[in-house]
Chains A and B, each alone.
Chain A
Amino acid sequence: MSEAWTWVAIGGVTLTTFITRAGLLLLGERLRLPVLVDQALAYAPACALAAIIVPDLVLADGAVSLDPSNFRLLAALVAAGVFVATRSFVATIAAGMAVFTALRLLA
């Protein structure tokens, strides 16, 4: 891809940021959403987060990997436990990365 087209593509990605994040907000409440959609919005962020996180942790080279050789998954499970116990972002990330790094260096 030429230099110029790469910049056009960068502009396109930037445009999607504005469209998706500000579009509905600019339309305001003139556009009424159905009640069902309104209720669905309460669950959407959690489902979106899960849909981003879980494949990232469970898949290794495109295949499901649920055994102990999946260090990322093990580290995330430990991190989740630490979060439930401490409610601390920093402790969660530090614990997860420590487990991952230790497994990686020992393996």
Chain B
Amino acid sequence: MSVTELPGAAAPPPLDPERAAAFRAGLRDMAPAVPGVAAWGLVTGVAMVQSGLTLWQALGLSAFAYAGSAQLAALPLLAGGSPVWVIFLTALMVNLRFVIYAAALRKPFGHLPWPRRLWLGYFTGDITFVIFMRRQQQAPAWPQRDSYFLGLAIANWAAWHVASFAGILLAARIPAEWGLGLAGTLALVALLIPFCMRRAAAVGVLVASVVAVAAHGWPLRTGLLAAIACGVTAALVAERWQGRRGGAGAA
């Protein structure tokens, strides 16, 4: 009897040791973020079932959409019987930050064949993107960078889905007052802090935070987009102002 190969273990292009090493480096660099991702997935799984989706709907939404924040934003609309186009637009808005990520990923990945670009895009997550861009800035010409990205992305994907499915199956037994959702937010806090070390970015973060709170009640979560736009504008202004002052000081 031969042992059947496990299907779907999304491997990088095989037989190239440098690519395999880059893939493993990606898995390794993602490892510290796995508990946070898993906690967030667990919470999303629980929330989907507690909002009234059936087991199969919850599994389907998680497996196909693979978008925690958009899934969470869509839940009350699904439960309340909102029209499909409202649900679509809401998910689109919440997902818009990924357009920003995709724009940044065009430089490292624009030369790849389009099916690979499609899947690299699909597997982009917030944490995956941030860790990848940090590495990308250190080594812009790394030829195996897409394998590294895939390593990050697969680790993120696996952690998310194992936890999310566990949450769906355990939903009835995890009390809401444990506040597990906070663990996901804490993971994002840890991601955010390194950005704030640059003054212009810190200004942007401050402005984005204030606007996000003030515009929280806007329909379809458009307040999120307004906050990002204001924050980025503030950061650009701060960068220019700082550059001019720095230039004057040097002269």
Contacts and interface: CB of A to CB of B under 8 A. Distances in A.
Interface of A: 1, 5-29, 33, 36-37, 39-59, 62, 64, 72, 75-76, 79-80, 83-84, 88-90, 92-93, 96-97, 100-101, 104
Contacts of A96: 182-183, 186, 189
A76 B185 CA distance: 8
A10 B61 contact: yes
B109 to A, nearest CB: 6
Interface string B191-231: 11101100011001111110111001100000010011001
B97 A19 contact: no
A75 B98 contact: no
A57 to B, nearest CB: 6
Contacts, number: 260
A53 B87 CA distance: 22
The B interface is mostly helix, strand or loop, or mixed, namely helix
Given A21-B102, A83-B193, A45 B67 contact: no
A25 B136 CA distance: 16
Would you call the interface of chain A mostly helix, strand, loop, or mixed?
helix
Contacts of A23: 99, 102, 121
Contacts of A39: 236, 239
A44 B168 CA distance: 32
Given A6-B78, A9-B88, 10 more contacts: A7-B57, A10-B60, A10-B64, A13-B88, A13-B91, A16-B67, A21-B101, A25-B109, A42-B201, A47-B228
Contact of B78 (A1, A45, A62, A93): A1
Interface stretch (B16-24, B29-37, B155-163): B29-37
Contacts of B211: 51
Interface string B219-250: 00000100110011101100100000000000
Nearest to B66: A17
Most buried by B among A7, A37, A48: A48
A16 B95 contact: yes
Nearest to B60: A10
Nearest to A58: B213
B207 to A, nearest CB: 8
11 contacts: A6-B53, A6-B57, A7-B60, A9-B74, A13-B67, A14-B66, A23-B99, A25-B110, A44-B232, A83-B189, A92-B186
B25 interface: no
B191 A49 contact: yes
Given A24-B106, A49-B188, A55-B216, A8 B84 contact: yes
B122 interface: yes
A56 B67 CA distance: 17
B182 A97 contact: yes
